[in-house]
Amino acid sequence: DLNGEATSSDEVAEATAMMGNYEAQQKEAAAARAKDPAWKPTCGEVGLIQVGDGKKSGALKNFCLNAEGNILACFAPPESKGAAGLRVYSPKGELLQTLPLAIKPGAVCVAKDGAIFVAGDGKVLKLDATGKLLASAVSPVANEPVVITSEMEEMIKQSGRPIKEETENMKVNLERRRAEVTGLAVTEQDVFMAVGAP
């Protein structure tokens, strides 16, 4: 149909023109930002610190500085066995040491006195500056029961997927989630943890 082809090519031309206008607007906005001193970056990259060897997969979960200015990086390989721990890097990015842990660390912070707090797998550990374990405690939600609410059940029903299978998957995910610690902070008296609700 000749009329249909004309309409189709008109639509293509219109879409192309619209994209051209959008790209022109983007370039114009970028040029305006380049001239505006408020958009100038205040920081610049001075180096790259590679956590891990680049061959095996793993995850950098969190990091902080210790009293000496070294970087404490939470490293957790995906498999259950492996070198999970705190990796200590110099400010230049040299790996100084690895403090092995019995947990996969998800968050770390250092107290004023130099004590290291690290959390993951539903636990929080207190280490001295050399990595020696001083104390440990269970996360506030690690032992809480997983609850599938009526809202969750309704969501599963609406998904159209097998209810029993999806409910089990959701339970497993919530059990895993309650063991994660995504943030950690300490004061002289208290430890604050960001954890997922079960």
pLDDT, tens digit only, all 198 positions of the chain:
444 455 567 777 777 777 778 888 899 988 888 888 888 878 888 888 877 666 666 678 899 999 899 999 998 876 655 678 899 999 988 999 999 998 989 999 999 999 999 999 999 999 999 899 999 999 988 888 888 888 888 888 888 788 788 888 888 888 888 888 989 999 999 999 998 877
| DSSP assignment letter at 3 | H
Beta-carbon contacts of 137 under 8 Å, excluding residues fewer than 6 positions away, are: 123, 124
| Bridge partners (DSSP) listed for residue 117 | 109, 126
> Strand 133-138 to strand 123-127: parallel, antiparallel, or no bridges (unpaired)?
antiparallel
Phi-psi region of 9 (alpha: psi -120 to 50; beta: other; left: phi over 0): alpha
| Bridge partners (DSSP) listed for residue 107 | 119
Which pTM was predicted?
0.70
**Which pLDDT value is given to residue 83?**
72
CA distances from 188 to 112, 114, 191, 192 (A): 8, 11, 9, 11
**Which pLDDT value is given to residue 79?**
63
**Which pLDDT value is given to residue 105?**
93
**Which pLDDT value is given to residue 111?**
95
Here the tokens at position 10 are 């008109």
Cβ proximity of 84 and 74 under 8 Å:
no
Cβ proximity of 197 and 120 under 8 Å:
no
Here the tokens at position 5 are 């082809």
Angle between helices 150-159 and 163-179 in degrees, nearest 10: 130
